[in-house]
Chain A
Amino acid sequence: MTSPTTTRRDFLKVVSVAGAGLALGVYDRQAWAMAEESGTTLSPSVYLSIDTSGNVTVVVARAEMGQGVRTAIPMLVAEELEADWDRIRVEQALADPKYGSMVTGGSQSIRTSWEPLRKAGATAREMLIAAAAQEWRVEPSTCRAERGSIVHGTTGRKMEYGKLVERAARLPVPENPLLKNPAKYRIIGKKVRRLDSPDKLRGKAIFGIDTRVPGMLIAAIQRSPVIGGSVKRFDAAGALATPGVRRVVQVHSGVAVLADTTWAAFQGRDNLVVDWDDGPNARMSSASIAKMFQEKSAGEVRIARNDGDSAAALASAVQKSVATYELPFLAHAPLEPMNCIAHTRADSAEIWAPSQSPLVARDAVAGALGLPPEKVVVHPTLSGGGFGRRLWPDFAVEAALVSRAAGTPVKVVWTREEDMRHDFYRPASLHRLAAGIDGNGKLSAWQHRIVAPSINIQLFPEGTGENRWRDAVDGAAQLPYTVPSILVEYAMANTPVQILWWRSVYNSQNAFVNESFLDEIAVLAGKDPFEYRRELLPVDSRLRGVLELAAKKAGWGTPLPAGMGRGIACHACFGSFVAEVAEVSVDSNGGVRVKRIVSAVDCGRAVNPDGIRSQIEGGVIIGLTAALYGEITIENGRVQQGNYDAYKLLRYDETPEIEVHIVGSEKDPTGVGEPGLPPVAPAVCNAIYAATGKRIRRLPIRLQ
Chain B
Amino acid sequence: MALITLDVNGTSRTVDAEDGTPLLWVLRDLLGLTGTKYGCGAGLCGSCTVHLDGEATRSCITPVENAVGKKILTIEGFCEKPDNPLVEAWLDEEVSQCGYCQPGQLMTAAALFSRNPAPSENEINAAMSETLCRCGTQNRIRKAIRRVIEEGGMR
B25 within 8 A of A: yes
CA distance A66 to B21 in the complex (A): 31
Chain A residue contacts of B36, Cβ below 8 A: 203
**Contact B29 A263, beta carbon cutoff 8 Å:** yes
Measured as residues with beta carbon below 8 angstroms from the partner, the interface class of chain A is: 35 or more
Residue in B25, B99, B125 whose CB lies within 8 Å of A200:
B99
Chain A residue contacts of B34, Cβ below 8 A: 203, 206-207, 209-210
Interface flags for B134-148 (1: CB within 8 Å of A; 0: not) read: 111111111000000
B57 within 8 A of A: no
**Contact A385 B37, beta carbon cutoff 8 Å:** no
B14, chain A: closest CB distance, angstroms: 16
- Interface set, chain B 10-56, CB cutoff 8 A to A: 18, 21-22, 25, 28-30, 33-42, 44-45, 47
**Contact A194 B98, beta carbon cutoff 8 Å:** no
**Contact B134 A385, beta carbon cutoff 8 Å:** yes
State whether A649 and B99 are in contact (beta carbons under 8 Å apart), knowing that A201-B91, A262-B25 are contacts in the complex.
Answer: no
State whether A335 and B133 are in contact (beta carbons under 8 Å apart), knowing that A203-B74, A263-B21 are contacts in the complex.
Answer: yes
A653 within 8 A of B: yes
Please, how many residues of chain B have a CB less than 8 angstroms from a CB on the other chain? 57
CA distance A65 to B135 in the complex (A): 9
Residue in A193, A205, A206, A644 whose CB lies within 8 Å of B94:
A193
B137, chain A: closest CB distance, angstroms: 7
State whether A652 and B128 are in contact (beta carbons under 8 Å apart), knowing that A194-B96, A263-B21, A335-B45 are contacts in the complex.
Answer: yes
**Contact B136 A198, beta carbon cutoff 8 Å:** no
Chain B residue contacts of A645, Cβ below 8 A: 42, 44
- Interface set, chain A 419-454, CB cutoff 8 A to B: none
- Interface set, chain A 361-391, CB cutoff 8 A to B: 382-387
A319, chain B: closest CB distance, angstroms: 40
Chain A residue contacts of B99, Cβ below 8 A: 66, 196-197, 200-201, 205, 382, 384
**Contact A614 B140, beta carbon cutoff 8 Å:** yes
**Contact B35 A66, beta carbon cutoff 8 Å:** no
CA distance A621 to B141 in the complex (A): 14
CA distance A333 to B91 in the complex (A): 25
CA distance A67 to B22 in the complex (A): 32
A671 within 8 A of B: no
Q: Pick the most buried of B36, B79, B100: most chain A CB atoms within 10 A of its CB.
A: B100
A residues sitting closer than 8 Å to B (CB atoms) are 65-68, 193-194, 196-198, 200-207, 209-210, 218, 243-244, 260-263, 266, 333-337, 382-387, 413, 415-416, 610-611, 614, 617-622, 643-645, 649-653, 655, 657-658
| Contacts A202-B76, A652-B124, A652-B141 known; 16 new A-B pairs at CB < 8 A | A196-B99, A201-B95, A203-B35, A203-B36, A262-B29, A335-B100, A336-B39, A336-B98, A384-B100, A385-B100, A618-B137, A621-B135, A621-B136, A622-B136, A652-B131, A653-B129
Question: 22 interchain pairs (CB within 8 A)?
Answer: A197-B99, A203-B33, A203-B35, A203-B76, A261-B21, A261-B25, A263-B25, A266-B41, A334-B98, A335-B37, A335-B100, A335-B101, A335-B135, A382-B98, A382-B99, A416-B41, A611-B94, A614-B94, A617-B136, A644-B132, A652-B131, A653-B129
3 nearest CB pairs, A to B: A203-B35, A384-B100, A621-B136
